[in-house]
């Protein structure tokens, strides 16, 4: 499982790091906390992106 840093998630979503951190704090994007580090799994990021889709 590949884990992404907050900065990498922001780049992937084309959002600011601040916005991604807010989404994490609100519990919208699930994270793994390893010590003081925060990581987002690629699978969780894909699920988040899929949940944002509107038809």
Helix (H, G, I), strand (E, B) or coil at 15: coil
Enter the pTM of the model: 0.90
pLDDT tens digits, one per residue of 1-55: 899 999 999 999 999 999 999 999 999 999 999 999 999 999 999 999 999 999 8
CA dist 49 to 34, 37, 38, 43, Å?
A: 23, 22, 19, 10
Domain ranges of the chain: 3-51
User: What angle, 0 to 180 degrees and rounded to 10, lies between the N-to-C axes of helices 6-13 and 42-51?
Assistant: 40
Give the Cα separation of 41 and 9 in Å (integer): 10
Across the strands, what pairs with 3? 41
């Amino acid at each position: 499982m590949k884990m992404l840093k907050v900065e990498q998630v922001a780049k992937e979503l084309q959002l600011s790091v601040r916005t991604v951190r807010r989404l994490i704090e609100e519990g919208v994007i699930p994270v793994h906390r390893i010590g003081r580090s925060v990581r987002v799994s690629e699978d969780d990021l894909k699920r988040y992106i899929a949940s944002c889709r509107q038809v």
